[in-house]
Amino acid sequence: MATDPVTSANLGEKVFEAAKSSFGKKFSSIKHFLKGESEKLAITLRMIIEASASGDISKAEAKILLNQQKVAATAVLTAAEGMTAAAVQAAINAALQAVKDFVNGKAGFRLL
Per-residue pLDDT of the chain (112 residues; tens, 9 = 90+): 455 777 878 888 988 988 888 888 878 888 888 999 999 999 999 999 999 999 999 999 999 999 999 999 988 888 876 767 778 888 889 999 999 999 999 999 999 9
**Single pTM value for the model:** 0.76
For 7-24, give the DSSP string.
Answer: -TTTHHHHHHHHHHHHHG
What confidence score (pLDDT) does residue 1 get? 43
Question: How far apart, in whole angstroms, are the C-alpha atoms of residue 43 and residue 77?
Answer: 17
Question: How far apart, in whole angstroms, are the C-alpha atoms of residue 48 and residue 45?
Answer: 5
φ and ψ at residue 99, rounded to 5 degrees: -115, 10
Question: How far apart, in whole angstroms, are the C-alpha atoms of residue 4 and residue 16?
Answer: 14
Contact 77, 88 (CB under 8 A): yes
